[in-house]
Amino acid sequence: MTTPLMGTHAVASSAADPAIPKVGPVSAGASYAQVETRRWGQLNAPMTQWQGRRVWLVGASTGIGLACAQALRAAGALVVVSARHPQSVQDWAAQDKGVQWLEMDVSDPLQVQASARALLAQGPLDMVVYAAGYYRAQRATAMNLDEMLQHATVNYQGALQVIHAVLPSMLSRQSGHISVLSSVAGWRGLPNGLAYGPTKAALTHLAETLYIDMQDHGVGVSVVNPGFVATPLTAQNQFTMPALISPEQAAREMLKGWARGEFDIHFPKRFTFWLKLLRLLPYRLYFPLVRKFTGL
């Protein structure tokens, strides 16, 4: 749902920004590939038309997931929101026929399969966004195996369960898009990220491989790598988070990325650009720099 660590990590109108998806009619059964042709440099077919499209957001009762669900609904999508706890989503769903609440625990494979079957029985899913996340700061000097396994269960294995449940339908239709919410914390090892970072690295690797396998089958794949976003997860952090943004800002960046046909949607650029440069450094330089700038 967020990027809690780097020492650990009402939707605005889209009318003024051409990079944010437009609202417009889409004929029943039309795929995104049919709506707009992919141009050179675009790894996915641009998603600019959301009216009537069905999107399932998993792990979206708070934070980035909820803000994204609200942004997609504002753009005309029909959204299904799933999580373990309803938070305020049930009230929202009760007031809007275009919003559906479906309680689900991603750690329960049978529940995931049943939820997917129920949704697919109602009609095809044009997009599935995996935003479920679990985070507790941890260092190897105080290793907690149970906590580490819980991170793996929610952050990575849950994504596998959801993708396994929806991918056959998308493949049979040769249409749809899967987007997973990873984190810049998975780009390289960081202090306090012993439990969280590896699961996000695995999620990014999963998305990369999934894209390679799906690119000839009409199914889009993207990975979202946020920096620091003000959410219940990052509220645990006891340090000043650079380039902190709101969930609503994060949601707008996600929609912009999908509209541009991007695979790697990362933001805010003023922060993630430098982190991408750090990924290129050899370990003999990287480790001393991390130690210096984090003080850990």
CB proximity list for 220: less than 8 A, separation 6 or greater: 32, 44, 45, 47, 176, 177, 178, 214
> Contact, 268 vs 261, CB < 8 A?
no
State the helix-helix crossing angle for 158-173 and 196-214, rounded to 10 degrees.
Answer: 10
Q: Mind listing the pLDDT tens digit for each residue in 226-248?
A: 986 666 665 465 555 556 788 89
Supply the pLDDT for residue 7: 36
Supply the pLDDT for residue 265: 97
Q: Is the pLDDT of residue 33 over 50?
A: no
Radius of gyration of the chain (CA): 18
Q: Indicate the burial class of 168 (C-beta count within 10 angstroms; 0-12, 13-18, 19 or more).
A: exposed
Supply the pLDDT for residue 290: 85
- The CA-to-CA distance between both ends of the chain, in Å, stands at 25
Tell me how far apart the alpha carbons of residues 268 and 265 are, in angstroms, rounded to a whole number: 10
Supply the pLDDT for residue 272: 87
Residue type, 239: F
Phi, psi of 213 (to 5 degrees): -75, -30
> Contact, 82 vs 56, CB < 8 A?
yes
Select from 154, 130, 158 the least CA-distant residue to 69: 130
- pLDDT confidence tier of residue 17, bands split at 50, 70 and 90: very low
Q: Is domain 43-294 annotated with CATH 3.40.50.720?
A: yes
The full length of the chain comes to: 296
Q: Please give the average per-residue pLDDT across 277-294, as a whole number.
A: 89
Q: Is the pLDDT of residue 15 over 70?
A: no
Supply the pLDDT for residue 167: 98
Q: Mind listing the pLDDT tens digit for each residue in 125-184?
A: 999 999 999 999 899 999 999 999 999 999 999 999 999 999 999 999 999 999 999 999
Q: Mind listing the pLDDT tens digit for each residue in 178-217?
A: 999 999 989 999 888 899 999 999 999 999 999 999 999 9
Strand partners, 128: 56, 178
Supply the pLDDT for residue 168: 98
Select from 104, 194, 85, 183 the least CA-distant residue to 144: 194
The mean of the pLDDT values for the chain is 85
